[in-house]
Amino acid sequence: MNAPVSIGTAAPRVAVIVPAYGVAHLVGEALDSVLAQTFGEWECWVVDDGAPDDTARAVLPYLSDPRIRFLETGHGGVACARNRAIARARAPYVALLDGDDLLRPRYLERMVAALDAEPEARLVTCDARNFGAVPQESFCASAMQRGHGRMRGTLGQVLDRSFAVYIGSSFRRSDWERVSGFDESMAHCEDFDFWVRLLMLGGHALYLDEVLGEYRVRPSSASASGEKMIRGVLYTYDKVLPQLGERPEADIVRAMIDRRRVELEFEWAVDRVLAGDMAAGLASLHRTRGNTGGLAWPAALALWDLFPGLAAPMLRRRRQSNARGAGARQVAPLEAVE
């Protein structure tokens, strides 16, 4: 473990919230990255969300640092775990760190400074490196964000997903209270739902064009399930649409709902093809991509109509190539960055 910068006696300024479910073998790496921070005025809450593995034993060596606390609860999901920890935290700022992810050393320093400098920022996000179960390592930020320095995102840009918000973002505890925390009924996209509700308060989202986090993709990660993620996004849109009234963002949400429903049917269709139900899968693919997927799709569909056996391997390869981290610029791993 890395030695802390300086513990001191000052009250913590930021609470690092670490939900840990099924990651006992990885949570030590996450805590090492907290201990390596250049900013030392933090508290860290690790939540064992009824995990099936021995999270308590993995965290025990770190409890010698009084800034690290351990909370053991029944299984309620990641939204519930975060809410329980934030409710116990003292710091005015909150930073999220999943138990299998990592912070780069200047993450807290940058986040606290940004929140201090911009009272109207409802959240501060950054870029991060995807690694693990990905075809290649890549960035998390969108093309609109990367390479353009510090950027302020609007509610509309978060809603249409052109302004990406990395899960390892930071925000004010007071705003968490104002929106009643994370929606504990959601098992997927609870973070997106939370960012949207924060921005409904007014203000903006702030992006720092720095790689300050490390996002580990595992085969069992929530982000690996396309259909469930789309359903989570749709749930958020359905929740927010009545609140928007005549605001221009309502048109964005309606357009995104239509797009996501097509994507949902497409994911279902691919699942049917991969499961061997060619008739239902190919019929749905004709509806969802035959007229909207570019010039390649009509040709592919015509090929699969003639040779159905080619559909499954080609679609499986497409899913792999479109997985998180595929086809994007590579970035240096954590150990290569000072």
CATH superfamily of 14-223: Spore Coat Polysaccharide Biosynthesis Protein SpsA; Chain A (3.90.550.10)
pLDDT at 294 over 80: no
Q: Is 181 helix (H, G, I), strand (E, B) or coil?
A: coil
Q: Name the nearest CA neighbour of 219 among 75, 325, 81.
A: 325
Instruction: Name residue, tokens 């003292």.
Output: 90
Per domain, the residue ranges of the chain are: 14-223, 228-321
123-173 residue pLDDT tens: 999 999 998 877 777 889 998 999 888 999 999 999 999 999 999 999 999
Q: With cut-offs at 50, 70 and 90, classify the pLDDT of residue 332.
A: very low
Instruction: Name residue, tokens 């099936």.
Output: 52
Tell me the average pLDDT of the chain.
Answer: 88
66-118 residue pLDDT tens: 999 999 988 889 999 999 999 999 999 999 999 999 999 999 999 999 999 99
Q: Name the nearest CA neighbour of 132 among 219, 49, 61.
A: 219
Report percent pLDDT > 70 for the chain: 88
Q: What is the pTM of this model?
A: 0.86
Q: Name the nearest CA neighbour of 197 among 170, 177, 215, 213.
A: 177
Per-residue confidence (pLDDT) for residue 178, from 0 to 100: 98
Which pairing describes strands 204-217 and 42-49: parallel, antiparallel, or unpaired? unpaired
216-246 residue pLDDT tens: 987 755 444 678 889 999 999 999 999 999 9
Report whether 88 contacts 73 (CB < 8 A): no
